[in-house]
Amino acid sequence: MTKKSPYLMKVLVTGASSGIGKETADLFAMNGFTVYAASRHPKETKNPSIIPLTMDVTDLDSVRNAVSKIDELGIIVHCAGFGISGSAEMTPLERAKAQMETNYFGVLNVNSIFLPLLRKNKRSLVLITSSVAGLIAIPYQSHYSSSKYAIEAYAQALRMEASQFGVRVALVEPGDTKTGFTKARTSDEPESSPYFEQCKSSVAHMAHDEQNGKTPDSVARVFLKLAYRKNPPVRCAVGLDYKALALLAKLLPARLANWIVKLIYIG
Q: Which of 83, 87, 75, 6 is nearest to 35 (CA)?
A: 75
Catalytic residue among 85, 87, 130, 202: 130
**Is 131 labeled as catalytic in the residue annotation?**
no
Catalytic residue among 85, 140, 146, 148: 148
**Is 192 labeled as catalytic in the residue annotation?**
no
Q: How far apart are CA 43 and CA 26, in angstroms?
A: 12
Sheet of strand 167-173, all strands in order from the earlier edge strand to the far edge = 50-54, 34-39, 10-14, 75-78, 124-129, 167-173, 235-237
Catalytic residue among 36, 104, 140, 144: 144
Catalytic residue among 5, 17, 39, 142: 17
- The letter for the amino acid at 148 is K
**Is 17 labeled as catalytic in the residue annotation?**
yes
Q: How many CB atoms lie within 10 A of CB 73?
A: 22
Q: How far apart are CA 215 and CA 193, in angstroms?
A: 34
**Is 183 labeled as catalytic in the residue annotation?**
no
| Residues annotated catalytic, as ranges | 17, 130, 144, 148
